[in-house]
Amino acid sequence: MASGWAQLPDDLLDNVAQRTAGIKDYVRLRAVCKSWRSFLRPRSRPPWLMLPYDPCSESCVRGFLDASDGTVHEIDLPDTRGKRCCGSSHGWLVLERWPDVWLLNPATRERVQLPPLMRRGEALAPPRFMERGARERWEDCAYRSLRRPLLQREVRVAALSSDPVVLLGADEEAVFCRPTDASWTPLACPAGAFAAVDVACQSGLFHLVSHHGRVAVFDLVSPGSWLSSG
């Protein structure tokens, strides 16, 4: 039977492959026979998207959306309880529970403890408290409590390189570290305080964007080297 399928014309097989949207069906299609597997190139898989969750919830089940077919996969991740996810890349989640930061691979369950966000005995970016009754802001995954004020976290964004190197953006500064570092290294932007609202890594460079629309590029090869800022 497999030999019969192997005789299917390439143009017809290509037409079938183009109509196969889901990555799972495409993998099954390539597995039919050796000739199909040779003809059909592996299709790149879009990363799963982690759905929002309540860090204070007792449940440790987290949802991940497979954008290729719209399927939501649920994974039990006890290491995410009480922690908020402030970024993800290269298969890692960046988890924070002040002042501690972790990397977690949800597929392998590997966890890496990063240095606490402390410097000279003090927090790099201490948390702020909003008075009870103030307008609640949830854009930074703030925590709710009936017995205490709303705690607004300072870490706004996080990005990783493939090494990985982790960069966190806070209200008026950015810091980075590698898993082998003993502490975080602040980035001194030559243009002054830089409140990053988004950050991305490409080709070993971290690109930071401020809420004023300013863009800064930091070179990982030469720590402390800003390629541009403005």
**Tens digits of residue pLDDT in 31-49:** 888 888 888 888 777 788 9
pLDDT at position 50 is 92
Contact 95, 108 (CB under 8 A): no
* Contact yes or no for 130/150 (Cβ under 8 A): yes
My answer on whether 30 and 133 are in the same domain is no
Domain CATH number, residue 132: 2.40.10.500
Residue with tokens 């989640």: 93
Q: Note whether residue 73 is domain-resident.
A: no
Q: Give the chain's count of helices (H) and strands (E).
A: 4, 19
Give the pLDDT of residue 26: 81
| Residue 156 domain flag | yes
Please state, in angstroms and rounded to a whole number, the distance separating the CA atoms of residues 161 and 206: 8
Query: For 123-168, how does the pLDDT look when each residue is reduced to its tens digit (9 = 90+)?
Result: 454 444 333 333 333 333 333 322 222 223 456 667 777 667 777 7
Kindly report, residue by residue over 185-226, the tens digit of the pLDDT.
Answer: 777 665 555 667 778 888 778 888 877 777 888 876 665 555
Do 109 and 29 share a structural domain?
Answer: no
For residue 147 the two structure tokens come to 């017995």
Are 157 and 212 in a shared domain? Answer: yes
Domain membership flag for residue 49 = no
The most confident of the ranges 70-74, 86-90, 133-137 is 70-74
| Residues 7 and 113 reside in one and the same domain | no
Judgement on whether residues 191 and 105 belong to the same structural domain of the protein: yes
Of 12, 36, 11, which is closest to residue 28 (Cα–Cα)?
A: 36
pLDDT at residue 198, as a whole number: 79
pLDDT at 202: 80
Other C-beta atoms closer than 10 Å to the C-beta of 21 total 10
**Helices 23-30 and 10-18 sit at what angle, rounded to 10 degrees?**
160
Is the same domain home to 212 and 110? yes
Q: In the prediction, which pLDDT does 186 show?
A: 76
Q: Is residue 87 part of a domain?
A: yes
Q: Is residue 50 part of a domain?
A: no
- Residue-range definition of the domain harbouring residue 26: 2-39
Within this chain, do residues 27 and 117 fall inside the same structural domain, yes or no?
no
Same-domain status, 32 and 88? no
Highest mean pLDDT: which range of 58-62, 112-116, 132-136, 162-166: 58-62
27 and 122 belong to one structural domain = no
The Cα–Cα gap between 216 and 173 comes to: 12
Residue, of 72 and 225, whose pLDDT is higher: 72
Do 126 and 19 have their domain in common?
no
Residue 65: predicted pLDDT: 92
Total number of domains constituting the chain: 2
Residue 66 lies in a domain: no
- One domain for residues 126 and 213: yes
Say if residue 119 is in the same domain as residue 224.
yes
Region 117-128 average pLDDT: 52
- Residue 63 is predicted with a pLDDT of 94
In this prediction, what percent of the chain has a pLDDT beyond 70?
70
The answer to whether residue 72 is domain-embedded is no
